[in-house]
Homo-oligomer: A and B are copies of this chain.
Amino acid sequence: MEPERPHVLTFNEIKQAAERIEDGIIHTPLCEAKISKYMDYNIYLKCDNLQYTGSCSERGIRNAFVALNDEMSERGVIVPSNGNMALGAAYQGHLLNIPVTAVLPERCPPSLSQRCAELGAHVVLVGETVEDAVCYANKTNRDGSQIILTSDDPLVMAGLGTVGVEIITQLPETDAVIVPVASGGLLAATLVACKKLKCTCLVYGAECAKVPKMMKALQSGYPVSVPVIPNIAQGLSSAVVGENAFATIKGRLDRMLVVDEAYIARAVINVLERERLVADGAGVCALAAVMQGLVPELRGKRAVCVISGGNIDSGRLSRTIHRGLGVSGRLMRFAVPVPDHCKGLEVLAEAIADKRAVIKSFGTEQIWVHSDIGSTWANVVVETANEENALALKEHLRNLYPTVKFAVFDVDEKHKMR
């Protein structure tokens, strides 16, 4: 499916897709974000994490599947993916009776491959990245007898565009839409849909600063590969944006936002705690950009953040929570030398209790430390109510233990957020 000249997506293709997939996908809710009450923005969330397999990919997959002729349907499709496309394909394949081979990276969580298999897909684990999965798919399909579906496929993009159609239908007053960027298909399609239905609507993309492939492509004028560094927004970790997506976006995108990982972790927690919704790091990237203060020009405006996915396995969710609590100053890790006399531990415990912090873990080390032989180092993790509380405790500890060491997820005034 690698086109000689890239395909620029049109609104007509999206309109056709909307009719074609109508019966097989969920019209997800667009709801006012509860965080709006704490910010100067009117944020709305387009909750595509509530699709059956937890992401908007299902829309694109269904559009491509329904368009297959009988012969191709029987032969089945190959879907190289790092998660969402594979799950969506497994489920839609199950509904439409199309054999699906999901090609996933070796490192994908066991529960993901398990769920694809449960839904009837043939699962192949290979390599490190989506790009490796695509290579594998091309190699095993040399005769071209099967369709290989990626998110840069024009039919897949057209299906994804229905997110944009639904947004403008659900909230015609939308001033701006912010879209997470994996390989760019969702952004390209949403842009085409929103600009067509409401020409004044701003459309922004958001990606993680660790893998800024869209920003690099925009700067270079063509898709360029960037190193894929593991990060919280795993679902956005494509090394390069799609040719078709880029051709569609070029010259028409209002802004591209590059978001710090720390804000992505915060946004995951915020969505969990305030909205009571599960979204993955990729899925909250748009909201994270707002939280990081990257869009001051949208103050007072109605901005829709697309929550593109909620496929985070529980183990990873739990780790993300800890990171998020760490960067929000609600978990704090430090090491202090506790003198080996009877009051040593008591003084430390009292200092922590004084600031109403709660001990989460406590360990000691006597041998592998650089301190006098009369001290035991205590490694402590505590939970605090908020950043103010954490800063007060920090101050207090510094006074008591001048050599106290705080862990990397340190509370930093410049990271402070309302």
List chain A positions with a Cβ less than 8 A from chain B: 29, 34, 49-50, 52, 54, 109-111, 113-114, 269, 272-273, 276-279, 310, 313-315, 317-318, 321-322, 324-325, 330-331, 356-358, 360, 383-386, 389
Contact of A315 among B110, B114, B360 (CB under 8 A): B360
Are A110 and B384 closer than 8 Å at their CB atoms?
yes
15 contacting pairs across A/B (C-beta < 8 A): A50-B276, A109-B358, A110-B330, A110-B389, A111-B273, A111-B385, A272-B317, A273-B313, A276-B277, A276-B278, A276-B310, A277-B277, A314-B321, A315-B321, A318-B318
Residue in B closest to A111 when the chains form the complex, CB atoms? B385
B residues in contact with A314, CB < 8 Å: 269, 272-273, 321, 324-325, 330
Smallest Cβ distance from A277 to chain B, in angstroms? 6
Give bound CA distance, A34 to B317, whole Å: 20
B29 touches A383 (CB 8 A): no
User: What 5 pairs across the A-B complex have the smallest Cβ distances?
Assistant: A110-B385, A276-B310, A114-B385, A276-B278, A318-B318
CB-CB nearest in chain B for A315: B383
Rounded to whole Å, the gap between the CB of A318 and the closest CB of chain B is: 4
- In the bound complex, residues from chain B placing their C-beta under 8 Å from that of A317 are 272, 318, 321
* Contact call A322/B330, Cβ cutoff below 8 A: no
Picked from B52, B109, B356, the residue with its CB within 8 Å of the CB of A110 is: B356
Q: Which chain B residues border A383 with CB–CB below 8 Å?
A: 109-110, 315
A114-B385, A389-B110 are contacts. A325–B321 as well, Cβ < 8 Å?
no
**Residue numbers in B under 8 Å from A358 (CB-CB):** 109-110
